[in-house]
Chain A
Amino acid sequence: MNRSNSHDRCCGPASGGGLGRRGFLQMGLAGFSTLSLPGILRLQSQLSASDTQPHEKTAVIMVWKPGGCSHIDTYDPKPEAGSEYRGPFKPIATKVPGLQFTELLPRQAAIADKFTVLRSMRQTAPGHPAGSMQMLSGDPDTRDKPKPKYPDWMTVTNFLRSQQGERTNPLPRYVGINPPLEYNGPAYLGEAYSPFTVTGDPSAPQFHVPNIGLTDSNEVQRLQRRSTLRQNLDTLSRAFDRYGELGALDQFEAQAMSLLTSPATKEAFDLTKEDDKTRDRYGRNAWGQQLLLARRLVEAGVEVMTTSLSGQLCGRVGNWDDHAVNHHVFDALKFRAEAYDQAVTALIEDIYERGLDKRVLVVVTGEFGRTPKIEYSPSTGAGNASAPAGTIQPGRDHWPRAFSNIWAGGGIRTGQVIGATDKRGEDPIERACSAGDFLSTIYHHLGIDASTTFIKDFNGRPTPVVDHGKPIPELIG
């Protein structure tokens, strides 16, 4: 890699993979013809006939840190920077020679050879909505808006893969456990491609997933009776169904029935089936069990998995948005460090130990980093990681210009560090990677060639799934 070219873009080699996705391309360009449901069904059969891709579907787990995590205090320490920048956390050595994290992440430091750190992530939107939209849907707009204009990579993947053919696994393709939903979504793809959402704290004893494997056998029985009754009553001629819609409906109903009644789906969501040692290893708290559930579901066949690390474990305001008005940034990072470090470490180790490391890509990120320069403002209220109202405390604001994220599994070479920021952690000085590069990398793992995949928006205009960007070469397996 040419290190002298300081603002080199992440511009990978033309990848050979993904040409099997031509079918999507044809669909995106169908242009002149209306893509009616029979059209889609036909495309499906063409795809299944011609696509010779491996049968094991690749999957992605995205761990989302809503609000934006301070990069300087975690993966990109700047011990040489002035005191108004560097913060109190000391750098520590990691398993990878020459690579340092801060002391907040001892467990990850010990397994740093099992993942790769990208330190030169960069986007251009300063607000939570626009920043999230950049990272999750590739929208270049820097202004905040109430709703996303483009679908996020999760719904895009769900959409594209559902065009490929009927799903045989009873589990939904896309599941979110307390997922990011506020600033992303399916946009013009429609609600049907949204995640099957699980909310709550999976470590709580009363944790229960609605709509999955009904626990009450009476309820299961009743649903089956109802379903039989419906079959007996609904004798309306099916002959009128030329559009295949009733057929599609039947398929979804069958899928819903199996989701509701099959013991296998129930089991996939049942963390008590994990042994105690494993549960302990992830941490007996919401985040640990969220990540364990994510791993469990992906293992059972979920292909798109997102989960947010938010809520009480974050501190008073429930997310990573550590302005001084919200949190004492350093207290907050300390407050959440253990649970975070433990859960992420366990997930990464587990992925490798269970042989999921080729099929499953894990990425941990937020929408941006935080200002390298520390700011001081009065707190707006007392609570976890925040002093009483009016107390001046340190904070860090939004910083999209440079931040870090980590990648594991997906067959990538691990133990690397990609890119670097300047001495204050303000801007990348090597290998700046855009949101488009970030998304293209994820898509690449999912077998979607982002540079040639177009989906029609509401106006029928073929719209690229990523506006500009290339898979980050070091991160493609």
Chain B
Amino acid sequence: MDRSNPSHPFCYIVLAVLVCFSIWPMRASGNETLDNKPAANANTPRVVSFANDVVPILTKAGCNAGTCHAKAGNGQNGFALSLLGFEPKEDYTHIALEGRGRRVFAASPDHSLLLMKATNRVPHRGGTKLAPDSESYRLIADWISQGLKYDGETAPKLVSLEVQPQRGVLPRNSQQQLKTIATYSDQQTRDVSEFALYESNDTSMATVDAHGLVKTLDIPGKVSIMVRFQGQVVVFDAAVPQGSPVDQLPPSKNFIDDAVFANLKELGIPPSAICDDSTFIRRVSLDIAGRLPTQEEVALFMQDTSPTRREQVVDRLLMTSEYADFFANKWTAMLKNRRDDASDIISNFAFYSWVRDNLLSNKPYDEMVRELLAATGTVIANPPVAWYKRVKDPKQQLEDVAQLFLGVRMQCAQCHHHPFERWSQDDYYSMAAFFSQVGRKPTATRGEDMIFHKRGLAGYANAKTGIVQRPTPLGSPTVAISPDEDPRLRLADWMSSPENPFFARSLVNRYWKHFFKRGLIEPEDDIRDSNPPSNPQLLAALEKHFIDSDFNLKELVRVITTSQTYQLSAIPNEYNANDMQNYSHYYPRRLQAEVLLDSVDDLLGLRTEFPNLPSGTRAIALPDNSYNNASPFLRVFGRPENESVCECERIQSSSLAQSLHLMNSGDVKGKLGNGANRVNQWLQSGKAPNEIIVELYHIAFAREPNEQELATALAYVNEPKLDAEGKPIDPPRILRENFQDVVWALVNSKEFLFNH
């Protein structure tokens, strides 16, 4: 009950009676008036449609948003509408029939609570949503005075939506007015610019107001404005060129460079220079093998004079076991290889090894996914069954598969039409139907089932309509599957077919992001028409290359890292510093938790010990999340707990706790002070301080210290010190302590913390 309204209950009764009188006769006549054409006489208001006028106005005003009156949210103060107006019939009931009829008052539309609240004449927590002199207000008032007609089934349906223009080249800091045209099933078209919703996909590049006026800002690139109206979505694509001269392009190495450089030329953004050798080998080792390059690797590379020496580095890295460790770490997190119980350990190890072995042997990606999707048997006999151990519900299975392998987020569609998407609840449940025949039988291991195909016709009931949906791949026709056939195999067929619009695209975009920090589509697992790629030609070319290579993951890594684009310097030139999505320079990234921990250990020649694993196991090779418990380092730097299919579970942003940890934790202090670390060993063996400094630079940065760095560090390590009582400390101890400070300074430097 709504305590905020002080009206006497008697008023409700009077109002309800009045409204009843006004609704019923009118509704009867409303059924006879089917046309929705504008009235011939301009003085007579046209017949206002509930479905095509009133609901879109409520959507535009935000009334049915999740935070306001949407049922999916809280339905503030008992007034609950369908989320974003996807269910006009329900909305009609809530507006015209519920609330004791006081929400609309046909005898005096201006006194309807709906309008009094929307204009804030009666105190409205949501503030003023409609101006009393607006067209929207007038339309709702007309609809009320015309007798609250419901036309959800009879009103012309929206057939198509168009935005004009559809694309454009807009200078920076310029404007463009959009026009939105709706076409209905009765052939009528209507300018709905004022009633559509507009949203920019990157507000640092362009903003758009409620009327569809686009304003570009300083940053060049591609930006899209999503236009929504009555459940349909169209997109306005804008190129915002910078227009600087691009005359010095590095020679293109492959199709990636062709597409990136063409885009940079079109936008007038000159790329940075190619990075130097030290930067390259450090960057590519961190990105492919998840570790710093070894001194031997650096030496080999620096001596090599062959013109293909960078390509050879890539080839060698792809042969390392660390490549498999690093990418298995990435995949097992998304595949939720999680230790919830001590008894999970066997399944954790088996699943991890399966993923890692497949990466090491470079099994084609589509085959790997097929084996996972259609896994049957026990975890021990067939490790990918472990995925079904962690992800038990068919709905969860469909959601994970869609997001992870197709880059499509289906979660919202379980309960309502996704506001930015074409996926409906039927689409959701028809995808879930592929998992409806997954049979389970308990095994001797707690929480672990044997997985088998349960004979029978696959189907999953739409929770809302109750109608059983048959297996249907997204955007494709329903497939007939006999009761003997495992539907998951058919899903795998559809996914790996070369025509599949999501499967390869999602993977290449995910991998692109791995190497470039920003996906061509961002977020990387949110592929939809309304979220277009920043460089569609490049994405299409990568997709094609990946499919043509027979889903070869190593080849994908190779083609990306051998491109000139990947090898551009992180240092911007005077024209491209603004660019954040066209890859005109390398975008630096903080090392992820495991890599950072290993790098600190590498610098000091130590290894962190993890329980139940052989000594010397690198953090990057940890099979599951359970090791986070014992490692504040991994936790504080954001190693995921393998709970989400989204890579965003890994925290890559910085925090106070991280800074404190690196600067002052017992963990890091212990490593610096450890007598067995290589600096202390060197000192003990009498190695000269300048040689130690040079070698530390080799390991940390794959380069020589410059003169100034060497001088600064040398001066520091030789500085005399006094102890607490003011007595001079003996020289070996000074050297030891001062060297700890040098390593501390290196580890805490940006150059160390970032891949750049």
- Give A contacts to B, CB under 8 Å: 11-14, 16, 19, 25, 28-29, 31-34, 36-39, 42, 146-147, 172, 188, 190-194, 196, 210-211, 214, 218, 222-223, 225-226, 229-230, 232-243, 245-246, 248-249, 252-253, 255-257, 259-260, 451-454, 458-462, 464, 468
Distance to closest chain B CB from A65 (angstroms): 25
Q: Which residues from A are CB-within-8-Å of B664?
A: 210-211, 214, 223, 256, 260
Is B649 a contact of A188 with CB atoms below 8 Å? yes
Is B663 a contact of A256 with CB atoms below 8 Å? yes
Q: Which residues from B are CB-within-8-Å of A146?
A: 340-341
Q: How far is the CA of A243 from the CA of B570 in the complex (A)?
A: 12
Q: How far is the CA of A38 from the CA of B646 in the complex (A)?
A: 21
Contact with A along B564-575 (1 / 0, CB 8 A): 000000111000
B200 in contact (CB, < 8 A): yes
Q: How far is the CA of A31 from the CA of B531 in the complex (A)?
A: 11
B412 in contact (CB, < 8 A): yes
Which single member of B125, B646, B737 contacts A458 (CB below 8 Å)?
Answer: B646
Residues B642-659 near A (CB distance < 8 A): 643-646, 648-649, 651, 653-659
Distance to closest chain B CB from A66 (angstroms): 19
Is A226 a contact of B65 with CB atoms below 8 Å? no
Q: Which residues from A are CB-within-8-Å of B48?
A: none
Is A14 a contact of B744 with CB atoms below 8 Å? no
Contact with A along B585-614 (1 / 0, CB 8 A): 111101000000000000000000000000
Q: Which residues from B are CB-within-8-Å of A241?
A: 588
Q: Which residues from A are CB-within-8-Å of B651?
A: 190-192
**Given A29-B67, A172-B656: A242 and B587 interface contact (C-beta under 8 Å):** yes
**8 pairs of residues in contact across A and B, judged by CB atoms under 8 Å:** A12-B3, A19-B125, A34-B523, A191-B655, A214-B664, A230-B749, A233-B746, A253-B659
Q: Which residues from A are CB-within-8-Å of B134?
A: none
Distance to closest chain B CB from A320 (angstroms): 25
Is A459 a contact of B403 with CB atoms below 8 Å? yes
B750 in contact (CB, < 8 A): yes
Q: Which residues from B are CB-within-8-Å of A172?
A: 656
Is B660 a contact of A191 with CB atoms below 8 Å? no
Is A259 a contact of B660 with CB atoms below 8 Å? yes
**Given A230-B745, A451-B76: A34 and B522 interface contact (C-beta under 8 Å):** yes
Q: How far is the CA of A234 from the CA of B753 in the complex (A)?
A: 11
B237 in contact (CB, < 8 A): no
Is B199 a contact of A14 with CB atoms below 8 Å? no
Residue of B nearest to A469 (CB): B74
**Given A39-B203, A260-B664: A230 and B748 interface contact (C-beta under 8 Å):** yes
Is B753 a contact of A249 with CB atoms below 8 Å? yes
Distance to closest chain B CB from A258 (angstroms): 11
B553 in contact (CB, < 8 A): no
Q: How far is the CA of A468 from the CA of B76 in the complex (A)?
A: 10
**Given A19-B127, A225-B741: A233 and B713 interface contact (C-beta under 8 Å):** yes
Across the A-B interface, the 4 shortest Cβ-Cβ residue pairs? A192-B655, A234-B749, A256-B659, A230-B745
B77 in contact (CB, < 8 A): yes
Residues B30-85 near A (CB distance < 8 A): 65-68, 73-74, 76-77
Distance to closest chain A CB from B107 (angstroms): 27
Distance to closest chain A CB from B351 (angstroms): 18
Is B635 a contact of A191 with CB atoms below 8 Å? yes
Is A252 a contact of B74 with CB atoms below 8 Å? no
B22 in contact (CB, < 8 A): no
B4 in contact (CB, < 8 A): yes
Q: How far is the CA of A235 from the CA of B571 in the complex (A)?
A: 13
Is A242 a contact of B580 with CB atoms below 8 Å? yes
B238 in contact (CB, < 8 A): no
B424 in contact (CB, < 8 A): no
**Given A25-B67, A252-B654: A33 and B203 interface contact (C-beta under 8 Å):** yes
Which single member of B66, B580, B666, B712 contacts A233 (CB below 8 Å)?
Answer: B712
Distance to closest chain B CB from A223 (angstroms): 7
Residue of A nearest to B205 (CB): A33
Which single member of A34, A226, A246 contacts B745 (CB below 8 Å)?
Answer: A226
Residue of B nearest to A42 (CB): B204
Q: Which residues from A are CB-within-8-Å of B648?
A: 458
Q: How far is the CA of A230 from the CA of B666 in the complex (A)?
A: 20
Q: Which residues from B are CB-within-8-Å of A464?
A: 66-67, 73-74
Is B202 a contact of A33 with CB atoms below 8 Å? yes
Is A147 a contact of B658 with CB atoms below 8 Å? no
B226 in contact (CB, < 8 A): yes
Is B745 a contact of A233 with CB atoms below 8 Å? yes
Is A252 a contact of B749 with CB atoms below 8 Å? no
Q: Which residues from B are CB-within-8-Å of A188?
A: 644, 649
**Given A12-B3, A240-B588: A245 and B203 interface contact (C-beta under 8 Å):** no
Is B663 a contact of A248 with CB atoms below 8 Å? no
Q: Which residues from B are CB-within-8-Å of A14?
A: 4, 77, 123, 125
Contact with A along B358-392 (1 / 0, CB 8 A): 00000000000000000000000000000000000
Is A191 a contact of B656 with CB atoms below 8 Å? no
Q: Which residues from A are CB-within-8-Å of B127?
A: 19
Residue of A nearest to B636 (CB): A191
Contact with A along B313-345 (1 / 0, CB 8 A): 000000000000000000000000000110000
Which single member of A239, A260, A451 contacts B74 (CB below 8 Å)?
Answer: A451
Is A461 a contact of B411 with CB atoms below 8 Å? yes
Q: Which residues from B are CB-within-8-Å of A242?
A: 572, 577-580, 587
Q: How far is the CA of A236 from the CA of B713 in the complex (A)?
A: 16
Q: Which residues from B are CB-within-8-Å of A19?
A: 125, 127
* Max count, chain B CB within 10 A of own CB: residue among A16, A19, A36, A238: A36
* Max count, chain B CB within 10 A of own CB: residue among A29, A188, A229, A452: A229
Q: How far is the CA of A225 from the CA of B734 in the complex (A)?
A: 14
Q: How far is the CA of A29 from the CA of B523 in the complex (A)?
A: 15
Q: Which residues from A are CB-within-8-Å of B203?
A: 33, 39, 42
Residue of B nearest to A15 (CB): B125
B530 in contact (CB, < 8 A): yes
Distance to closest chain A CB from B205 (angstroms): 10
Residue of A nearest to B628 (CB): A191
Q: Which residues from B are CB-within-8-Å of A461?
A: 411-412
B201 in contact (CB, < 8 A): yes
Q: Which residues from A are CB-within-8-Å of B341?
A: 146
Q: How far is the CA of A90 from the CA of B249 in the complex (A)?
A: 88
Is A240 a contact of B585 with CB atoms below 8 Å? yes
Is B74 a contact of A468 with CB atoms below 8 Å? yes
Q: Which residues from A are CB-within-8-Å of B161?
A: none
Distance to closest chain A CB from B40 (angstroms): 40
**Given A29-B67, A236-B750, A461-B412: A38 and B204 interface contact (C-beta under 8 Å):** yes
B699 in contact (CB, < 8 A): no
Is A31 a contact of B741 with CB atoms below 8 Å? no
B724 in contact (CB, < 8 A): yes
**Given A147-B641, A172-B656: A223 and B663 interface contact (C-beta under 8 Å):** yes
Residues B1-41 near A (CB distance < 8 A): 1, 3-4
Is A222 a contact of B659 with CB atoms below 8 Å? no
* Max count, chain B CB within 10 A of own CB: residue among A222, A225, A226, A237: A226
Is B660 a contact of A260 with CB atoms below 8 Å? yes
Q: Which residues from B are CB-within-8-Å of A459?
A: 403, 409, 411, 644, 646
Is B67 a contact of A239 with CB atoms below 8 Å? no
Contact with A along B721-756 (1 / 0, CB 8 A): 001100000000000010001101110111101101
Is A34 a contact of B654 with CB atoms below 8 Å? no
Q: Which residues from B are CB-within-8-Å of A223?
A: 663-664
Q: How far is the CA of A461 from the CA of B399 in the complex (A)?
A: 13
Distance to closest chain A CB from B85 (angstroms): 16
Q: Which residues from B are CB-within-8-Å of A32?
A: 199-201, 226, 420, 530-531
Distance to closest chain A CB from B397 (angstroms): 15
B682 in contact (CB, < 8 A): no
Q: Which residues from B are CB-within-8-Å of A211?
A: 660, 664-665
Q: Which residues from B are CB-within-8-Å of A468?
A: 74
Residue of B nearest to A456 (CB): B648
Q: Which residues from A are CB-within-8-Å of B645?
A: 458
Having A37-B653, A230-B744, A236-B749, one finds 7 other A-B pairs with CB under 8 Å, namely A34-B522, A192-B653, A229-B742, A242-B577, A243-B587, A256-B663, A460-B526
